Amino acid sequence: QVQLVESGGGLVQAGGSLRLSCSASGRTFSSYAMGWFRQAPGKEREFVAGITRSGGNTFYADSVKGRVIISRDSGRNTVTVYLQMNSLRPEDTAVYFCAADRRIGESVDRDDVKWDYWGQGTQVAVSS
C-alpha cells in the first residue's frame, strides 16, 4: 500500500536546525514530484518546498528561501525526501507534511489540492 512516513520533527530553539525525512513507498515514486507543506495552528496548509521527479529543479516558498534545502534519494522500492531546515524561527512552528504529485514536467504545483498522496505529518516546534 502507499505509505509516506515523515520523521525528524521535534522541539528546537530559534536559530537551530532540523532535518526532516519522508520515506515514500507503494508506488513508483521515482516518477513523482515530491514536496513539503506545513500547517500552523489556525492556518491553512501552505507550500514549503518541492522537487521535481528528476531532482533537477527545486522550488521554495519565499518565507523559507535561503534557509531550507529539499533533496531526494531513490532506492529500489522507496524514495526518501529530505528537508534540511536551518536558522529556524518561531513562525516555522507547524506540522510538516510530505506529499507526492504524479505531474510530469520540471515544475511543481504550490496548490496542495493538486497533490496525490500525503503523509501523516511531523510536528516542528521552534521556541524563541
pLDDT in tens, 3-19: 999 999 999 999 999 99
β-bridge pairing 122-127 and 10-13: parallel
Written as one letter, the residue type at 126 is V
> Within the chain, how many helices (H) and strands (E) appear?
0, 11
- CB-based contact 32:101 (threshold 8 Å): yes
Categorize the per-residue pLDDT at 105 as very low, low, confident or very high, splitting at 50, 70 and 90: confident
pLDDT in tens, 109-118: 999 999 999 9
The greatest distance separating any two alpha carbons of the chain, rounded to the nearest whole angstrom, comes to 41
% of the chain at pLDDT higher than 90:
91
| Residue 120 neighbours by CB under 8 Å, 6+ apart | 4, 5, 6, 97
pLDDT in tens, 31-52: 999 999 999 999 999 999 999 9
